[in-house]
Amino acid sequence: MSVLIECRGLTREYRKGGQVIRPLDGLDLAVPRGDFLALMGPSGSGKTTLLNLIAGIDSPTRGELIVDGADIGTLSRRRLAAWRARHVGYVFQLYNLVPVLTAYENVELPLLLHPLTRRQKHDRVVTALERVGIADRRGHFPSQLSGGQEQRVAIARAIVTDPAVIVADEPTGDLDKASARAVMELLRELNRESGKTVIMVTHDPKTTEYASRTLHLEEGRLAGGSAVGGVMA
Amino acid sequence: MRQLPFHYAFRNLGRSGVRLAASLIGSSLVVLLILASGGFIRGMQLTLAQDDGLHENVMILGTGSEEGVERSQIDSSVEGIVAASVPGIKRQGGVVYASPEIHAALPVREDGDGDEDRVAVMRGVRPVALLVHARVEIVEGRSPRAGRDELMVGELAAARLGLPEERLALGRTLHFDDRDWSIVGRFSAPNSVMNAEIWLPLTDLQIATNRAASLSCVVVTLGRGAGGATFADVDLFAKGRLDLEVTAIRERDYYASIAAFYGPIRVMIIVTAILVASGGILGGLNTMYAAFAARVREVGMLQALGFTRVAIVANLVEESVFASACGVLIGTLLGAALLDGVAVRSSMGAFALVVDAPVVLLGVAGGLVVGLVGALPPAVRCLRLPIAEALKSY
């Protein structure tokens, strides 16, 4: 299985009040295509920072980050934005749906960045909404949906562009048990049936049961060393 | 660059009724203010322009009275002398376009006034004045006849006196010089100081002001074409006849000098308008800061999806400008309906606010600038946070 994501000596530093904070410190990691990786660790361990770097919404201070063949750490802000639009689907803990847009329009939003015809966009949105089982709510606004339904719409938005990788930041953190289970099953289906690579940050050990493997981070490093090729080294 | 859809900006307006109302009221008030101040300045400018582009009138008045014809006193023989001495003054059907006039500000009393006097700007004229002052047109009734204590009023004369229009209707009377004077006519002289005047026969006003042998001025219309007189001809006449103690001045220059006197007022009005418009912009900034600050996480999400900062700023500004545009529409309609033609009293008489195309354009531009400038800094600030931090904000 080919490697989709490769981190070499990945470091992210911030300056805060004269102090250097290093949420990620020389991390090495390889994620094969089609993997479902759960990232766990205490607060401040660097898991969300790693997720954001892989999603291209943050840039590393040092090290290499190759995603689907592109060294995204070297891309300009504008190129990185274009790269995100093509390669990444992001699922947020708080869904982040636009309240003034319907479920359909929310899912259509990322497609506005793609040169598709109106018909193609429509087909893709409908397919994505059907894929997450919420097509009958397409005309509803977020305020008219339950939390679980909102997260399904958010997942539809994440997959509508057919990205190589789906990143999910505590996707069940704001859901009740039943909705959380449904969302995790959906992510597993997307991983197993559609071959999507899923990287998920979670605090909930139960959700890791849906992942193909789980990595623990502590102080910006993988607990117990590095993980290359899916095997703890 | 891929843009966010316009309906996103449009629907965002509905997120807060209070904010939408503040934007609409703010921008429409700014527009109204610009229309009011612009209409005031424009009305004053047009009124004092005194140039219809067709006729060139020259005033012959007393030396040293160039700044106020009311103070001028010239011999009544000047009319005949100038008509005979300056060839090329306009003539038509045997009538020489030379209008002897008396200009006076007199206290008058209207029927319902009790003991209260009001100062009216009066002009004593002969019928030829209606030819010399081509923009004057009798719109109701007739010209007053000499010796009958009759007069006619300009369209804005009531505004000048601070009276409702019906109190200067035909058939009503004004009291001055211990007599009642009947209003027999009503004239219109658009965009002219004459529109706020009261006209009566020259001899009647000469008697009322005890100026039987004198005039305030003689206004002549220069002939056109090869045989027509030029201003230089009239000026040469005035300078050559030292015995008459007169000076010649183009009518438009006379009123331009009065307009210059009102320059500081114009500046004050413009400064006030700019200050209030700035207040509108600050209000807009405040509203937009609050509105956009509540959307930092959403803006972070849009960036995470791949929308560029420029596209997002453009959409936020679009939203603000759209709200302002609605306010501009309301303000413009209200302004055109409520302000255009409204009479304003001033020391020079009265004039009407003119809300014409240039003033409307200025108002529209001002209102849109409020929307644009009021949204840019909050939009840029909203995007200042790194995406990862924006996504964590509540």
Is the minimum CB–CB distance between A110 and chain B shorter than 8 Å?
Answer: yes
B316 within 8 A of B382, measured Cβ to Cβ? yes
Residue B40 corresponds to which tokens in the numbers above?
């005031």
Segments making up each domain of chain B, as ranges? 6-49+262-392, 64-244
Residue A31: the pLDDT is: 94
Model confidence pLDDT, tens digit, residues A71-116 = 998 899 889 999 999 999 999 988 999 999 999 999 999 999 999 9
Confidence of residue A224 (pLDDT cuts 50, 70, 90): low
Confidence of residue B354 (pLDDT cuts 50, 70, 90): confident
Cβ within 8 Å, pair A85-B306: yes
Closest CA–CA distance from residue A48 to any residue of chain B (Å): 9
d(CA B320, CA B11): 12
Residue B202: the pLDDT is: 95
Cβ within 8 Å, pair B15-A49: no
Cβ within 8 Å, pair A94-B306: no
Kindly state the percentage of chain A with pLDDT values over 90: 77
Is the minimum CB–CB distance between A84 and chain B shorter than 8 Å?
Answer: yes
Q: List residues in chain B touching A: CB distance below 8 A.
A: 2-5, 7-8, 11-12, 14-15, 297-298, 300-309, 386-388, 391
Chain B residues touching residue A101 (CB < 8 angstroms) = 8, 11
Best B6, B313, B387 residue to mutate vs chain A (most A CBs within 10 Å): B387
Nearest-CA neighbor of A190 among A212, A215, A166, A161? A166
- For chain B, the C-alpha Rg in angstroms (whole number) is 29
pLDDT of residue A55 exceeding 70: yes
Residue A233: the pLDDT is: 30
pLDDT of residue B151 exceeding 60: yes
Cβ within 8 Å, pair A113-B5: no
- CA dihedral for A128, A134, A135, A140, sign (positive or negative): negative
Best A100, A114, A201 residue to mutate vs chain B (most B CBs within 10 Å): A100
- pTM of the predicted model, to two decimals? 0.70
**Sequence-ordered list of residues with C-beta below 8 angstroms from that of B294, at least 6 positions apart, any chain:** none
A166 within 8 A of A183, measured Cβ to Cβ? no
Chain A residues touching residue B311 (CB < 8 angstroms) = none
Closest CA–CA distance from residue B311 to any residue of chain A (Å): 11
Model confidence pLDDT, tens digit, residues B262-319 = 778 878 888 887 887 788 778 778 878 887 888 889 999 999 999 999 999 999 889 8
Chain B residue with the nearest C-alpha to that of A107 = B305
Angle at the Cα of B257 from the Cα atoms of B251 and B263, rounded to 5 degrees: 140
B353 within 8 A of B43, measured Cβ to Cβ? yes
Chain B residues touching residue A169 (CB < 8 angstroms) = 391
d(CA A12, CA B312): 27
Q: How far is CA B201 from the centre of its chain?
A: 29
Model confidence pLDDT, tens digit, residues B87-140 = 889 998 889 999 999 999 888 988 766 767 888 889 999 999 999 998 899 999
Residue A228 corresponds to which tokens in the numbers above?
């290359």
Instruction: Please report how many Cα atoms fall inside a 13 Å half-sphere around the Cα of residue A16, on the Cβ side.
Output: 5
Cβ within 8 Å, pair B298-A96: yes
Residue B355: the pLDDT is: 86
Residue B191 corresponds to which tokens in the numbers above?
């965009």
Closest CA–CA distance from residue B307 to any residue of chain A (Å): 7
Nearest-CA neighbor of B339 among B331, B347, B348? B331
d(CA A112, CA A122): 11
Model confidence pLDDT, tens digit, residues A16-53 = 888 988 999 999 999 999 999 999 999 889 999 999 99
B391 within 8 A of B304, measured Cβ to Cβ? yes
pLDDT of residue A165 exceeding 60: yes
The H or E element that residue B297 is part of is helix B296-305
Chain A residues touching residue B387 (CB < 8 angstroms) = 52, 57-58
Confidence of residue B49 (pLDDT cuts 50, 70, 90): low
- The complex's ipTM? 0.90
Average pLDDT, chain B: 86
Is the minimum CB–CB distance between A101 and chain B shorter than 8 Å?
Answer: yes
Cβ within 8 Å, pair B388-A81: no
Helix (H, G, I), strand (E, B) or coil at A110: helix
Is the minimum CB–CB distance between A87 and chain B shorter than 8 Å?
Answer: no
d(CA B237, CA B379): 69
Residue A232: the pLDDT is: 36
d(CA B183, CA A208): 98
pLDDT of residue B258 exceeding 80: no
Chain B residue with the nearest C-alpha to that of A83 = B306
Best B305, B307, B309, B389 residue to mutate vs chain A (most A CBs within 10 Å): B305
d(CA B288, CA B122): 54
CATH architecture for residues A3-232: 3-Layer(aba) Sandwich (3.40)
Best A113, A118, A150, A155 residue to mutate vs chain B (most B CBs within 10 Å): A113
Residue B347: the pLDDT is: 62
